[in-house]
Amino acid sequence: MNYYAHGCRFVDRPYFLIGTAIPDMIRVSDKGVRVHSKRVIPFDDGGDSPRSQIAAGILQHLADDDAFHGTAAFIQVSAQLSTMFRKALPVDDGLRPSFLGHITTELILDSILISHNSSGLDAYYDALLRVDPAVVLDSVNQMTRDPAVRLGEMIPLFHREQFLRDYAEPVGLLHRLNQVLRRVTLPPLPAETKQVLANAWPIVEQWAEQLLPYKWPALA
């Protein structure tokens, strides 16, 4: 699952929402720093404090990911998309097609959820404006073995970039995928890959309900 699928249910709880983004966000902002459930659980005391809400959101993310990646739908869809990438790309005996099948499933699922609720993404981004990045950084650093440094800067940048909007069209999605590939030191995709992305959308949409580990009324 990606940012919007994790957080779209919690726009009325900004610190919980940012918690659902932290495990992915911190991979970008502070390489090598990770949040693990055993360190986070003691801070989830059921209270309304920002730290408690952040911890609960992180744990929600980890639980959702476990459920999502274990579904038959995810195994089916990501494998199908991996095959599509493998056929479209030059001979590639590495892990790039499998990685692409995995991440493209997640990004397109985000875009499908956004397309079913036109105001939902605005509400998601508006919620991020109600969190204090310094409070988030301090709270998260109490839950990690190694301290994050750039996470506080990442939160306003995430809001300014609003890259979730780019997933709606193959050109924008390709651009964002290539950013991810550069970050993990894999070769970028050629422009022709846009057709693979266009073909992938209806496949993910067909399986969207089965992919989600929760019931989302707009897809019912």
Q: Can you give the pLDDT at residue 217?
A: 74
Give the residue-averaged pLDDT of 50-64: 98
Give the residue-averaged pLDDT of 19-23: 98
Q: Can you give the pLDDT at residue 92?
A: 63
Task: State how far the alpha carbon of 126 is from the alpha carbons of 7, 129, 160, in Å.
Answer: 12, 5, 11
- Give the confidence band of 220 by pLDDT, cuts at 50, 70, 90: low
Q: Can you give the pLDDT at residue 89?
A: 87
Q: Tell me the chain's radius of gyration from C-alpha atoms.
A: 17
Three-state SS string over 100-163 comes to HHHHHHHHHHHHHHHHCCCCHHHHHHHHHCCCCHHHHHHHHHCCCCCCCCCHHHHHHHHHHHCH
Higher pLDDT, 3 or 118: 3
pLDDT, tens digit (0-9, with 9 covering 90-100), for 91-103: 765 668 999 999 9
Q: Can you give the pLDDT at residue 219?
A: 73
Residue 40 CA to its chain's centroid (Å):
19
The CA distance from 155 to 72, in Å, is 33
